[in-house]
Each structure stands twice: as C-alpha cells, then as structure tokens.
Amino acid sequence: MGISVVTGAAGFIGSHIAETLLNAGHQVIGIDHFNDYYNPELKRGNISSLINHPNFKLIDGDIQFLDWNLLLEDVDVIYHQAAQAGVRASWGTSFRAYTERNINATQVILEAAKDAKNLKRLVYASTSSIYGNAETLPTSETIPPLPVSPYGITKLAAERMGNLYHDNFGVPFCALRYFTVYGPRQRPDMGFHKFYKAAIEGQAIDVFGDGRQTRDFTFVSDVVAANLAAANCDAANGQIFNIGGGSRVVLEDVLDMMGTIMGQPIVRNYIDQARGDARHTSADVSKAKAVLGFNPQVSLHEGLIQQWQWIQGLYSPVVAANGAAGGK
C-alpha cells in the first residue's frame, strides 16, 4: 500500500478520506493548521479515532511553511482538501485568508509536486462555486466558469494553476468540483449542520431568499469514493470532474424532509438573499461516471438521517436539555 498526504485532514471531507485510506491499509500523512475559522476542537474530534493509528502521522502546521520536498519523497498521492471555505465570509477584510490559503498554499504544493519522483496523482478539491449562476443546468465541465463570490474566484485560480503545472511540468493533477457536500462532520457554518443545530435548540433557521433555490447535494462518502477513483485512474490525469449527488432539490423540500426525520418541523425565518450565493446548482456527472466509474450511492433521505444521528451525538447535552425528538 502507498503513502498518501491528506491536507485539511482534520476537516469535514479530509477526515473521511484519511479514515477510509487507513481502513484500506494505506499510510497517511495528515496535515492541518487547526485555524479558528471554526472551533478547532471540532476538527480534533474528527480525527480523534485516527490519532493513535500506527499508519497515521499528523502534522499540525501551515501548508506554506512546511518542507514539501522532504514530505513528498515517498508519497504517491496528495489529496489536497485544505482551503479557506465559505462563500459569504469571503467578502471584505477576510479575503486575504482566502488568497493565502486557497491560492498561495496550493502553489507551494504544486511547486514541490513537480519535483516529486514518486507522485502519481494530486487530487485537488475544487467546487461548484466556480460556475456561479450557470446558464445551463445540469452544468457540465465545458461550461465557462463565472464565479459570483470571492471564494469561487480563489478556488478557480488554484484549479487553473494546477492545470498550468500539469501542462508545463507534468504534475499529475486533477480537480474534482464538489457540489454541496453534506454528512457527518459537516462544518458548523454549512447549511444542514446549522439547520439541525437550530432545531435542536428550538431556534428558527434563517433561509436566504424565498427558499426556492435548488442545490445538488452530495453525501460525503460519495465524495470520498470519487477522490479514491481519481487517484487510481490514469485517465484522470489533467482532467476536471463534477462530483454531484445526482439530483437537484429545492431547499424548501429539503427542510420538510429534515423536519420529518427529526419528528418536528423546522421553523423558518426568511431573510434577504446572500451576496455570492448561486441561485441554482446541478451537476452533470456524466464525465465522472464515464472516466472514474463514479456513481453516487447515498440518497438524500438516507444521508440526512446519517447526518441527524451524528448531530445528535455532537450536541447530546443540548438534546437532553431540550427534549428534542429523535430521528427514525
């Protein structure tokens, strides 16, 4: 089994990738900076079961200041999940964090990757946010990117830089454009986590706009499967793939489904539409299916049940205090 580097290893998606690789017998070097974009203790909880694994090494540090040439000596795959996330937080003075962590940090990895003798793939976590308000739904990889948020701009810039390093230096780069990932360990600033937590606490949730916006929701285990497929498929080299859950759903309908799972309705507070939010997203995943064999396995209903079970465990003291209903 090979050696993999997972950046953002304590994060939502990165921790699932690291765990899956370890379970399959791989050696994993996990890198995470544990910055304060959200509670670092949540991130430490994500990898608490991995810390003592004999094949896991955790590096707590900033990607830009690590010795990547030494790190990559025996590494065959990099899963680059680390990023400054969040569309709405990317405006204003916080933008510097996005350029540093999304663009500059990726360039540092790419620069070292061009000299890494054993590297067979660098899988980059891109995003559907690079499409913005795409004119064509479902959206294929051939649609010109038109980001509507600073976050989307930085992710697209890093993706394009990966393409440059592939074309000029032969770096075995590929990008996966994720469409609204959810599931256990989801970040607390993301929709489903916020919605469930608010319901547990008896609070109304804020719905941006009229609630009729649509998203292509993708369960985290399907995203992990796509990453592993991209790492092991030679035809993925130099390519970009949409990774979506396979169905476009209206937000209001999702909230109704979540209420049914919890056994209590979600109270909604409608507010102005947020700047930088795309109105609709829908992934054309035909390329990922054809090249990677990607086929989403987890339905939205099943995925929401799994996330609800995790949320209850995370906030169990609050659940007990409020007597919130359990999901089926």
- Residue numbers annotated as active site: 151
Nearest alpha carbon to residue 106 among 60, 155, 57: 155
260's tokens: 């049914």
Centroid of chain to Cα 119: 23
Cβ atoms of 221 and 16 within 8 Å: the answer is yes
Rounded distance, CA 3 to CA 14, Å? 15
DSSP state at residue 43: H
Residue type, 250: V
The Cα 112–Cα 71 span in angstroms is 9
Across 88-98, b (16+ Cβ under 10 Å) vs e yields ebbeeeebebb
